[in-house]
Structure 1
Amino acid sequence: MILVSVITPAISQAVDRLSADGIAVALIRDMVSMVRDAPRDTDVLLVADGAVVAQGHYDALAGQAGNALLVTDDSRASAPFERIDAGQRWAGLGRINPALLFGTLDMIGDWDLALTLVRSAVQGGAVRITVPQDDLLEGRVALVDGQEQADLAAQAVMSTGARSGSSSRGGIEHYLFGPLARLLGPALMRSQVPAMQVRIGSIALAGIALMPLELGWPGTGLSLLLLALLLAELADRLDEMALRRPPSGWIAFLAPGLALIGVMLSGSGMVPNYLALLLGIITVADRWRRTGAARPWMIFTPGTALLVLLAALLTGAEALGFDIAMLAAIGSIGAIILSRRGG
């Protein structure tokens, strides 16, 4: 339920995106619709307008019984939040039971529900969960009222997702493509570029890259394949910023699969084919997070292989490049197997 005074185009677009994710949305514009739609047999979560709160704090409130508020100590970092007493401010998230909700609805006349609910919860002795100051400084809890706060919150979402392993990758995807995607992601999110469009672009570019490889221009083809894999990584980051898990099905393997075809086309003999098969196994393990305790530098991904082959091509040592890539792929698979814990 979203409390609104005027339904703007931005709100309509947000509702469309939520509905596309399977979330039922109700726009509340007056007291009558609030009384009609609010649940009477369960607690509700109150989220302040513009609040961005990390999932862990939602979990903390879910573990409480009855009314609870997420609060922060008064400081320069917490200045955008609403003050609730001399030493603390409301951090934008609260758990409200039905008695307090409907009692407040019966009491107030003007449409200022959120702050009235918070004040009623404070007066009723609601449990307070204090947010560490580091969460405010690093954007894991923020009140977004401008682009600077939005960018900080977006970076916090992506860094948290990377730490939790939602998009744990190896090789060049971890050391180069990941940082570049985190840098470019907020700008694309501000432009409302869907992750699926970027993913389709990466697949199309990977397909186009096969043409110069067929025509005998391996340098151009390998470079385009690297760019395609960067776009695929960027699509994953956009999914994370939208709080969606990056895909792990067939669509996630199209761009890397085309890159493996490019590996086969960039050389002669059977060695490129064997290398592509080994890289395919590593790609599946990397995407499905089945690499055990192997460190990112131990995972020889398609992007890393393309970089090695491109460097070998530029130095005139194509055959040596394939030999090095084959040894690295074998070593990578060995590291993944040996680093797995016994079940």
Structure 2
Amino acid sequence: MKLALISLAKDDLEGTGPIALLPLFDGTLLDLQIRAAQRFGCEKFIFLCPVTHGALLQKIDAMKQQGLDAEYVRTPSDLVQYATDQDHIIYIADGILPNAEIVEQLSGEPQELLFTVLHGDEYQEFERIDLNQRWLGIVSLNTSRLSALIDIPDDWEVGSALLRTAVQADCPRAIISDRRMGAGAIAHVQSEISAEQFTRRKLRDMPAKGSNFLNRFLLHPLVKRSLPRLWKKKAAPQYLGIFTLTAGAGAILTAAFGYAVASLILLFAGSVAQYMRAAMVQFGSVVTVRDWTRLALEFLAATAVVILLVKASVTPTLAPNLVIAFLLPAHLLLSRAGTLNRRLALMKPDMRLILLVLLLATIFGAFPYGLYGAALYTGLFLVLDRYLTKDSPEKPALRGQ
């Protein structure tokens, strides 16, 4: 069994509390360390904290309610009672967070491994092993080696003791290159300032592949500016989801009363809120689940558009207009389910883009023409995408999002 040992022994540079309890997006640094340990395949979580903190006790209680095995210890000698010689322990030092590549490396079969970097002036904050290497705060060891920690003084750092144990046992070393370090292989958070820097780096690297021009050049920058404030409110995803559904329901109500512009504005605002919610969830979710809020909004949007179309149509044009109204979402589903040629990424239609087209057409009093234009655009996109994909099969295609 894999055990995760996460240290909360050091306070941040401001002295406000353990580094692991510094707030980041979607919770604290400790939350991200726990998620990393879950991806390691750890089945038990042990928190090393010499001083009892209420926030840690609350976290342990919450984990137990979720069915996770979590405990905390104050001294190195207490560690032995939670592990057998057949177990394996992965230690994460204060403020250390590995990236997905290192997580993948440790998620396989248990192996002894010490993560290091070649000595350099830019790595002064990491503990030095010898003349050439510094330790990056992560070590994977057999729990049988914990017996060496029983007799160490309580004022010794467990991380340093584990490091010495690993070095004396000639534990294999995984040397992280400067290039990988520069790409964020290991994040070392020590203060509120470094926490903000880490957050900005995550926002900078937030993927925008496969997004059309509306998402990439307007909504993506807007989300990057908004997320730091939204992350400070733990209930923000729920609030955004409620707003999304409320906006969709309000759009149906205003459409029924004939307020087409107001209805489409509500739908567009709800779709933007859903886009922000999806951006927040992608950082915090361990497992990707079906986004029911998005599906509900799409149903509400389709209902509102049909109501607006019925009100804007006369008897001779109602039937063809309804055909187009049902053809448009079919085009959107096909474009989402299929592959996407890279050259067409900026042109890919989605619900937000269609709603914006309909809103602009409605402002100029031409809602049905906007619907026809949107259906024509999505249809041409599907044809062009299929043609280019067949024309260049050797080029990898992006999965539609």
TM range (shorter): 0.7 to 0.9
Which aligned pairs between 1:85-234 and structure 2 lie closer than 5 A? Answer: 85-100=130-145, 102-110=146-154, 112-154=157-199, 156-157=201-202, 162=207, 172-234=214-276
Shift in alpha-carbon separation, 1:80–1:211, aligned structure 2, 3 A: farther
Aligned equivalent of 2:354: 305
Aligned residues of 2:244 and 2:293 also touching (Cα < 8 A): no
* CA positional deviation for 1:117: 0.4
**In the aligned structure 2, how far is the partner of 1:284 from the partner of 1:116?**
57
Amino acid at match of 2:269: L
| 1:263 maps onto 2:308 in alignment | no
CA deviation vs aligned residue, 1:4-38 (integer Å, no higher than 9, x gap): 23343433454466557654322223445422223
Shift in alpha-carbon separation, 1:210–1:272, aligned structure 2, 3 A: farther
**In the aligned structure 1, how far is the partner of 2:218 from the partner of 2:117?**
36
Aligned equivalent of 1:290: 337
* CA positional deviation for 1:158: 6.0
Specify every segment of 5 or more residues in structure 1 that has no aligned partner in the other structure, as ranges: none
| 1:71 maps onto 2:120 in alignment | no
Amino acid at match of 1:304: L
In the alignment of these two chains, the number of paired residues is 336
Amino acid at match of 1:145: Q
* CA positional deviation for 1:261: 2.5
CA deviation vs aligned residue, 1:68-105 (integer Å, no higher than 9, x gap): 122223445434333333333222322111232x2332
* CA positional deviation for 1:276: 4.8
Specify every segment of 5 or more residues in structure 2 that has no aligned partner in the other structure, as ranges: 1-45, 313-317, 395-401
Amino acid at match of 1:263: V
TM-score by length of 1: 0.81
**In the aligned structure 2, how far is the partner of 1:313 from the partner of 1:77?**
57
Aligned residues of 1:263 and 1:306 also touching (Cα < 8 A): no
Structure showing greater radius of gyration is 2
Amino acid at match of 1:50: G
Q: 1:60 is paired with a residue of what secondary structure?
A: helix
| 1:240 maps onto 2:287 in alignment | no
Amino acid at match of 1:88: Q
* CA positional deviation for 1:55: 1.8
After TM superposition, the structure 1 stretch with the greater mean CA deviation from structure 2, 64-73 or 52-61, is 64-73
Indicate the percent of aligned positions where both proteins have the same amino acid: 21
TM-score by length of 2: 0.71
Aligned residues of 1:68 and 1:95 also touching (Cα < 8 A): yes
**In the aligned structure 1, how far is the partner of 2:374 from the partner of 2:192?**
44
